[in-house]
Amino acid sequence: MWHRHELRLAVDFEAVGVAEPEYDLRGFSDPWMGPGVALLTAVMPHYQQITGQQLSMERAMAWHPRNTLNDVLWRSEVGIPLPDQRTPSEWADDPLHRARPRS
C-alpha cells in the first residue's frame, strides 16, 4: 500500500503467515521490476527501518529462484505469457544471471 509516494505496507495474501522477513522481499528482484536488483536494494533499508529487523540480501536472493520458478509454472499451466514474452526456459535461467555479482 502506498501513501502518496511512500510505501507504507506490503501484504501478500497468497501466503499469509509468519515467515522470515526476506521472504516478503523475494519479488522485488523479479525481472519485471527492472534490471538487476536496484529495487530490492532500495527497498531493504526502508523495510529495516520500519520493522527494526536486520535483513540479509543473500537470504532475500535465495528466495528469488523459487519465486521465479513458481511464476513460470503457474503462468505456463494456465497459458498466460510471461510479462516480457520470453520462453519459460529463458525466464527460469534469469535468477542465475540476476544473482551474479556485478563487476
**Residue 2: beta bridge partners?**
7
Q: Take residue 20 and report the three cell numbers written for it.
A: 522470515
Q: Per residue of the chain (103 residues), give pLDDT as tens.
A: 788 888 888 777 666 667 788 888 877 766 666 666 788 888 899 999 998 989 998 888 888 778 888 888 888 899 988 877 888 888 777 766 655 544 4
CB atoms near residue 61 (< 10 Å): 18
Domain locations along the chain: 20-99
Q: Taking the complete model, does pTM exceed 0.85, yes or no?
A: no
Q: Are 41 and 33 in contact (CB under 8 A)?
A: no
Mean per-residue pLDDT over the chain, rounded: 79
pLDDT at 33: 64
Q: Decide: residue 18, CB within 10 A, 0-12 exposed, 13-18 middle, 19+ buried.
A: exposed
Q: Measuring CA to CA, which residue among 16, 14, 7, 21 is closest to residue 71?
A: 14
